[in-house]
Structure 1
């Protein structure tokens, strides 16, 4: 009996310890569900069974503010279905004090263009909006810092939504990474007048870039310089890779480059040219590259064609097979033609495919054929 009681207390303590700090200080855990919360959520068409299954501990908390949270979202323009969705996927939002939520809303509105867009952000990233109040000072300071760099407000909003960790930490940590990026850009010959645009694109492509250690960027650039890339080429590379240059590491790049060079049978200089056209070869692991080379070669495409248009290696095997079949249906042979028709985004491919359709369907004009006239 003593063992069962002890086990029960341990489990209960673990649940309490798992709660965010700002919720623990104002909520208490009860052995029974808070019927007021359950009823309020039920009236808001929240999937109670789903809440019980994944975050049942929320229903045992007191006090809770389901109606207040709902009213705040409704005042911002959220529909009933959106409110129901938010409270279902992130029920712990009902444990946030209304004053905290109002302060959070005011903070987000300093960078968000309007309440409608903020509702859309909350719907997609509820965890980011219903953040602990203890983070608010850091959030405010990071917003002010990024605005001091003249970065676009929409970009700052995107960063707050998709990478909230970079706003909950001290501003100094973000300053170090931003300064490292800016210095690398200038050291490689980047134009200071274009640095803001370059930084915006980098952070937009990879919102988690600020969370990476600055040393990772330095090591990656040093590795690529040792492989023979000039400063101009390095600037081109990090501009095309954008924030993903920080996701790489020398060991994985070394393996990918060694495999690509051996498979294509090219020289170091040729490999550098190929990488400049298709930087993605730096971060695809050997297994993925092997699969993609195999699919292209099995379709009758030559290695010289791949080397001429290496960006086809950015396409998944499913996309390559699908596009080859569609092109064949219109009489285009990828074995003898340019891979540009196979290449590119979905939009670019559809445009190329449309041109092939027109070429096939357009009647050929015979300049010596007699014209049909009226009898």
Structure 2
């Protein structure tokens, strides 16, 4: 029944999207541009040619509220250049009714620390802020729901910005998904005292997790359990994958695991150990894994080194080659040393290179050499 409803909604959205596109094209071809909109955008130094090329239909709409929306943004603290950037990226903003956007602003302010931060969010995610007023009730209800879970306001605003669909959908869908996540966490042995922090991290690192179907999570956990992972190990994977376990499916994981095991020539138990160290191996495709294995081996790195430090597989071949060259310039032979020096962020790697440089420049102390003292 749920699948039938979902399919019907999808077909309805497809028809609405197609009709909307047809109306936009018809309007663009059969009406002149709204000169008030064009002049207002010119006054705010917006690239009109870019809008004409990418979203020219907006310029043909009436009524439009370019001046009013610009004033709303200015009153919030947006600079002239920021307003121009928002209009250039999301010109549809000028079609939003000022009164509705005022209500939207107040809604977002309730979860944003200050107006300056809200302006930054709007500049980065304008489509998330300038939404249809028909979604405002859902947004308000979802904000109230996540606040009842004691979710940090910054995380709520991040969710609204980066995954607006999760706040536009009915509250019931989010309730079901959150319940499924928390239930899985507890069934796998998660401590209730840490549950809030765990959920906050997961939602912060993967906001789109709320848009997935709860059954996907259950199926993936069952698949991994059948592969021999304990409940504690499953909790570790669920936490370390940061919700990306919901992006997977048993078929893709099965193929990836088989390819990794065949390539590394390891046992089932050793493969599980490797996955626990580097869960990313679960969701990389066979083609990506093949490229990275080939890149590492062609650089002279042995398979035993890769098995010992599998997290090196998270780096692209380009990054690995660049870092190997840098290390070689500092006299470090990656074929004989640990691969740990390759891992980490760019900042971590630069610090490692700095330590190698200091080590090379520091003179060796000879304990039997005579001390030179002044007479």
How would you bin the TM-score normalised by the shorter chain?
Answer: over 0.9
Task: Verify the 8 A CA contact 2:51 2:91 in the aligned structure 1.
Answer: yes
Query: 1:181 is matched with which residue?
Result: 181
Following superposition, the deviation at residue 17 of structure 1 comes to 4.1
Query: TM-score w.r.t. structure 1 length?
Result: 0.92
Task: Verify the 8 A CA contact 1:312 1:344 in the aligned structure 2.
Answer: no
Q: SS of the counterpart of 2:305?
A: helix
Task: Verify the 8 A CA contact 1:29 1:61 in the aligned structure 2.
Answer: no
Query: 1:333 is matched with which residue?
Result: 333
Matches for 1:6-17 after TM superposition, within 5 Å: 15=21, 17=23
Query: 1:23 is matched with which residue?
Result: none
Following superposition, the deviation at residue 16 of structure 1 comes to 6.1
Following superposition, the deviation at residue 156 of structure 1 comes to 0.4
Matches for 1:223-302 after TM superposition, within 5 Å: 223-302=223-302
Q: SS of the counterpart of 1:242?
A: coil
Following superposition, the deviation at residue 124 of structure 1 comes to 0.5
Following superposition, the deviation at residue 347 of structure 1 comes to 2.2
Following superposition, the deviation at residue 308 of structure 1 comes to 0.6
Structure 1: distance between partners of 2:228 and 2:369: 61
Following superposition, the deviation at residue 15 of structure 1 comes to 4.1
1:146 aligns with 2:146: yes
Query: 1:368 is matched with which residue?
Result: 368
- The number of equivalent residue pairs is 357
Q: Quick one: structure 1 residues 36 and 30, their matched pair in 2 at CA, closer, same or farther if it must change by over 3 Å?
A: farther
1:324 aligns with 2:324: yes
Structure 1: distance between partners of 2:23 and 2:231: 51
Task: Verify the 8 A CA contact 2:24 2:57 in the aligned structure 1.
Answer: no
Task: Verify the 8 A CA contact 1:306 1:312 in the aligned structure 2.
Answer: yes
Query: 2:14 is matched with which residue?
Result: none
Which whole-Å deviations, capped at 9, do the CAs of 1:16-38 have from their partners, x for residues lacking one? Answer: 6469xxxxxxx999711111111
Task: Verify the 8 A CA contact 1:30 1:60 in the aligned structure 2.
Answer: no
Task: Verify the 8 A CA contact 2:28 2:56 in the aligned structure 1.
Answer: no
Q: SS of the counterpart of 1:284?
A: coil
Query: 2:196 is matched with which residue?
Result: 196
Structure 1: distance between partners of 2:273 and 2:355: 30
Task: Verify the 8 A CA contact 1:206 1:243 in the aligned structure 2.
Answer: yes
Query: 2:92 is matched with which residue?
Result: 92
Structure 2: distance between partners of 1:172 and 1:270: 42
1:345 aligns with 2:351: no
Matches for 1:216-227 after TM superposition, within 5 Å: 216-227=216-227
Structure 2: distance between partners of 1:264 and 1:74: 58
Following superposition, the deviation at residue 205 of structure 1 comes to 1.0
Q: Quick one: structure 1 residues 104 and 16, their matched pair in 2 at CA, closer, same or farther if it must change by over 3 Å?
A: farther
Query: 1:9 is matched with which residue?
Result: none
Which whole-Å deviations, capped at 9, do the CAs of 1:186-213 have from their partners, x for residues lacking one? Answer: 0000001101111111111111000000
Q: Which consecutive residues of structure 2, in runs of 5 or more, have no partner in the other structure? A: 1-17
Structure 1: distance between partners of 2:280 and 2:102: 44
**Which moved further from structure 2: 210-219 or 361-370?**
361-370
Task: Verify the 8 A CA contact 2:28 2:57 in the aligned structure 1.
Answer: no
Structure 1: distance between partners of 2:22 and 2:374: 92
Structure 2: distance between partners of 1:37 and 1:341: 56
Q: Quick one: structure 1 residues 226 and 328, their matched pair in 2 at CA, closer, same or farther if it must change by over 3 Å?
A: same
Structure 1: distance between partners of 2:35 and 2:24: 22
Q: SS of the counterpart of 1:62?
A: coil
Structure 1: distance between partners of 2:127 and 2:24: 15
Query: TM-score w.r.t. structure 2 length?
Result: 0.92
Structure 1: distance between partners of 2:151 and 2:273: 33
Following superposition, the deviation at residue 362 of structure 1 comes to 1.2
Following superposition, the deviation at residue 374 of structure 1 comes to 4.6
Task: Verify the 8 A CA contact 1:16 1:29 in the aligned structure 2.
Answer: no
Query: 1:210 is matched with which residue?
Result: 210
